[in-house]
């Protein structure tokens, strides 16, 4: 079952429909409900390798539905510590729980100040409203 | 320049159902209602209905209708009688495929040709220009709506009598007159219901009331790909010949029709490339236009909802065309392995 539309208050957002949950010098990254809904049920996640470098505003992976492919944009720069194998094995987890079980990767941030430039939930909702 | 999209008589119904609408061949069409995968599974396990009213209908009639069509279409119309239908190709002088169509023999001297939406005007022009005395070609597309009701329970849900594939008959569903065609594009049992445009909404409602699931073009594409039916514009086109496309069975090479000598030549010499179905061995989804190592190219690719794996069709050199041959597909810069399989890619067990 696809999740109901929601955007948690405790996350930082990127206008390309990605979120970050900052935990100390680490961050968990994923895509928002809007991105998952726009693509439809996900059937593939092409993740980065653990140890790889991700760069803010650049693609670090791809998510695919039956009909379309979409780059996943990094909201923050860092080193990949962990890939969510559950999403690799069952990509529809992203549709079912985009902010919980459907997280994509965990990184160690290399420039924590980048987080200051991310959107809070209100600003992200304004981005959605203007689309 | 903004182009106005055409709407089928069921457009408002689709919007009311919350369908995601997309432009397709100049029409505003539903790509999905609830989701491609669940609609796909509904057709494989029960019954689904597709609005395919965007497809074209061309009527050909007159004492010379039969010889005209025998000269324009690849298959042999002498093999079908009134009440029967045939999958066939409209070919050009180069032996290329202008369109793949179904010819319904309405009477000895009267045919209805159902054509792809994107080719309707080209098909009509091609046929009209070649009209001979005693034959008349008419585009009647606007008069009709077409609903494809497909799936193992489609016939039962519509309370229709069993009938052979590629036959058709006049019937009524809840008092609505329909031509029931035992044809489809999903590999499942079922039918395509042709009705007058004005009756389309009532027929759609009657079909949904019988528990048939509304399905969009997204599921239509994955369903046809699992059973390896070619899509004109992707897998076949004016520059591809039927032999390379594994459609030699639709060509009566012992009769004369447009481009037949070229097609005979390809058959005699053997095609350089062949259209083959394949299944990914690695986790990846092939897409149209991706290169296959050795000179091949993916022409259709997606995710199989039934097999839960990437599947596709593509042209490969003859040496790579045998079943079980390993292929290497360039998936956005990464090499992913696949293997050639026999048609169809998906078949129900038992």
Predicted confidence (pLDDT) per residue in B287-345, tens digit: 999 999 999 999 999 999 999 999 999 999 999 999 999 999 999 999 999 999 999 99
Please choose, from the candidates A59, A55, A56, A64, the residue with its C-alpha nearest in 3D space to the C-alpha of residue A88. Answer: A64
Q: Is residue B253 part of a domain?
A: no
- Three-state DSSP class for residue A117: helix
Note whether B43 and B188 are same-domain residues: yes
Structural domain harbouring B332: 272-350
Q: Which residues of A touch B308 (CB under 8 A)?
A: 43
Residue B219 region by backbone torsions, left for phi larger than 0, else alpha for psi between -120 and 50, else beta:
alpha
How close B287 comes to chain A (CA, Å)?
A: 9
Note whether B117 and B166 are same-domain residues: no
CB of B180 closer than 8 Å to CB of B191? yes
Q: What is the pLDDT of residues B251-264, one digit of tens each?
A: 999 999 999 999 99
Cβ of B303 under 8 Å from any chain A Cβ?
yes
pLDDT grade for A1, boundaries at 50, 70 and 90: confident
CATH number at residue B278: 2.40.30.110
Q: Of B32, B303, B332, which has the smallest distance from its Cβ to A43's Cβ?
A: B303
CA distances to B1, B127, B153, B290 from B276, in Å: 38, 31, 30, 14
Q: Is residue B175 part of a domain?
A: yes
Q: For testing the chain A interface, which of B223, B302, B303, B332 should be mutated: the one with the most A CBs within 10 Å?
A: B303
Note whether B25 and B132 are same-domain residues: no
Note whether B330 and B309 are same-domain residues: yes
How close B308 comes to chain A (CA, Å)?
A: 8
Cβ of B34 under 8 Å from any chain A Cβ?
no
Instruction: Say if residue A55's pLDDT is above 70.
Output: yes
CB contact under 8 A, B37 and A2: no
Q: Is residue B260 part of a domain?
A: no
Looking at residue B349, its pLDDT comes to 77
Compute the distance between CA of residue B194 and CA of residue B169 in angstroms, rounded to an integer.
10
Q: What is the pLDDT of residues A11-30, one digit of tens each?
A: 999 999 999 999 999 999 99
Concatenating the DSSP letter of every residue in B27-38 gives: EEEEEESS-HHH
Q: Of A46, A66, A88, which has the smallest distance from its Cβ to B36's Cβ?
A: A66
CATH number at residue B31: 3.30.1360.120
Q: Which residues of A touch B287 (CB under 8 A)?
A: 69
State how many domains chain B has.
3
CB of B27 closer than 8 Å to CB of B5? yes
Q: For testing the chain B interface, which of A66, A70, A88, A96 should be mutated: the one with the most B CBs within 10 Å?
A: A66
Sheet holding B176-181, edge to edge: B168-173, B176-181, B190-196, B144-150, B48-51, B213-214
pTM (2 d.p.): 0.95
Show which of B209, B225, B241 is a domain's final residue: B225
Note whether B48 and B72 are same-domain residues: no
Q: Delimit the domains of chain A by residue range.
A: 12-120
Show which of B124, B141, B158 is a domain's final residue: B141
Residue B157 region by backbone torsions, left for phi larger than 0, else alpha for psi between -120 and 50, else beta:
alpha
- CA B343 centroid distance within chain: 16
Cβ of B332 under 8 Å from any chain A Cβ?
yes
Compute the distance between CA of residue A30 and CA of residue A14 in angstroms, rounded to an integer.
10
Compute the distance between CA of residue B115 and CA of residue B94 in angstroms, rounded to an integer.
20
CATH number at residue B126: 3.30.70.1400
- CA B82 centroid distance within chain: 22
Please choose, from the candidates B78, B323, B123, the residue with its C-alpha nearest in 3D space to the C-alpha of residue B238. Answer: B123
Looking at residue B350, its pLDDT comes to 57
Q: What is the pLDDT of residues B184-196, one digit of tens each?
A: 999 999 999 999 9
CB of B26 closer than 8 Å to CB of B209? no
CB contact under 8 A, B31 and A66: no
Q: Is residue B45 part of a domain?
A: yes
CB contact under 8 A, A67 and B310: no
Nearest CA in chain B to A46: B284
Compute the distance between CA of residue B108 and CA of residue B253 in angstroms, rounded to an integer.
23
Cβ of A81 under 8 Å from any chain B Cβ?
no
Cβ of B304 under 8 Å from any chain A Cβ?
no
Looking at residue A26, its pLDDT comes to 98
Nearest CA in chain A to B31: A67
Note whether B292 and B332 are same-domain residues: yes
Q: What is the pLDDT of residues B19-30, one digit of tens each?
A: 999 999 999 999
Would you say domain A12-120 falls under CATH 3.40.47.10? no
Phi, psi of B287 (to 5 degrees): -135, 155
Please give the structure tokens belonging to residue A74: 């990094």
Q: Is residue B15 part of a domain?
A: yes
Instruction: Say if residue B2's pLDDT is above 90.
Output: no
Q: What is the pLDDT of residues A101-125, one digit of tens each?
A: 999 999 999 999 999 999 999 999 9
Note whether B189 and B40 are same-domain residues: yes
Note whether B110 and B94 are same-domain residues: yes
Phi, psi of B168 (to 5 degrees): -150, 160
CB of B279 closer than 8 Å to CB of B296? no
Looking at residue B1, its pLDDT comes to 46
> Taking CB atoms and an 8 Å cut-off, how many pairs form between chains A and B?
37
Compute the distance between CA of residue B233 and CA of residue B217 in angstroms, rounded to an integer.
15
Note whether B96 and B25 are same-domain residues: no
Please choose, from the candidates B158, B161, B183, the residue with its C-alpha nearest in 3D space to the C-alpha of residue B173. Answer: B158
Note whether B74 and B183 are same-domain residues: no
Q: Of A2, A67, A88, which has the smallest distance from its Cβ to B36's Cβ?
A: A67
Q: For tokens 């609408």, what's the residue?
A: B21
CB of B245 closer than 8 Å to CB of B236? yes
Note whether B304 and B350 are same-domain residues: yes
How many residues does the structure list for chain A?
131
Q: What is the pLDDT of residues B91-149, one digit of tens each?
A: 999 999 999 999 999 999 999 999 999 999 999 999 999 999 999 999 999 999 999 99
Please give the structure tokens belonging to residue A89: 């094995």
CB contact under 8 A, A44 and B302: no
Compute the distance between CA of residue A27 and CA of residue A48 in angstroms, rounded to an integer.
15
Note whether B45 and B75 are same-domain residues: no
Residue B136 CB neighbours (<10 A) = 16
């Amino acid at each position: 079952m696809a999740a109901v539309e929601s955007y948690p208050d405790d996350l930082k957002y990127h206008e390309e429909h990605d979120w970050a949950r900052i935990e100390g010098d680490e961050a968990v990254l994923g895509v928002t409900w809007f991105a998952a809904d726009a693509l439809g049920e996900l059937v593939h996640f092409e993740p980065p390798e653990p140890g790889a470098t991700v760069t803010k505003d650049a693609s670090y992976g791809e998510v695919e539905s039956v009909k379309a492919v979409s780059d996943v944009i990094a909201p923050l720069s860092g080193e990949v510590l962990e890939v969510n194998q559950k999403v690799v094995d069952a990509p529809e987890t992203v549709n079912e729980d985009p902010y919980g079980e459907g997280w994509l990767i965990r990184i160690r941030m290399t420039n924590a100040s980048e987080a200051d430039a991310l959107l809070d939930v209100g600003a992200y909702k304004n981005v959605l409203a203007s689309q | 320049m903004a182009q106005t999209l055409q709407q089928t008589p069921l457009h408002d119904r689709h919007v009311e159902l919350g369908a995601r609408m997309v432009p397709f061949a100049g029409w505003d069409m539903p790509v999905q209602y609830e989701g491609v995968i669940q609609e796909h599974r509904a057709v494989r396990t029960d019954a689904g209905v597709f609005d395919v009213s965007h497809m074209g209908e061309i009527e050909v009639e007159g004492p010379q209708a039969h010889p005209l069509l025998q000269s324009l279409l690849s298959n042999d119309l002498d093999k079908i009688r009134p009440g029967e239908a045939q999958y066939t190709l409209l070919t050009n002088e180069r032996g290329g495929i202008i369109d793949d169509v179904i010819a319904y023999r309405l009477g000895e001297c009267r045919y209805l040709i159902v054509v792809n939406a994107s080719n309707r005007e080209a098909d009509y022009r091609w046929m009209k220009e070649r009209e001979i005395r005693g034959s008349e070609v008419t585009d009647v597309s606007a008069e009709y709506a077409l609903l494809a009701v497909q799936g193992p329970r489609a016939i039962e849900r519509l309370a229709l009598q069993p009938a052979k594939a590629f036959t058709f008959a006049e019937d009524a569903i809840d008092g609505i007159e329909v031509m029931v065609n035992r044809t489809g594009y999903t590999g499942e049992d079922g039918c395509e219901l042709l009705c007058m445009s004005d009756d389309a909404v009532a027929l759609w409602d009657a079909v949904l009331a019988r528990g048939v699931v509304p399905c969009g073009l997204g599921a239509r594409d994955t369903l046809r790909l699992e059973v390896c039916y070619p899509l004109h514009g992707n897998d076949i086109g004016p520059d591809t010949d039927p032999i390379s496309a594994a459609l030699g069975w639709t060509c009566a090479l012992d009769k004369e029709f447009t481009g037949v000598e070229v097609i005979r030549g390809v058959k005699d010499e053997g095609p350089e490339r062949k259209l083959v179905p394949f299944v990914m061995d690695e986790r990846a989804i092939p897409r149209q236009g991706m290169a296959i190592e050795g000179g091949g190219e993916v022409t259709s690719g997606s995710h199989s909802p039934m097999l839960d794996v990437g599947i596709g069709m593509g042209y490969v050199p003859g040496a790579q065309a045998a079943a079980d041959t390993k292929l290497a597909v360039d998936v956005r810069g990464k090499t992913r392995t696949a293997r050639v399989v026999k048609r169809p890619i998906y078949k129900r067990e038992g």
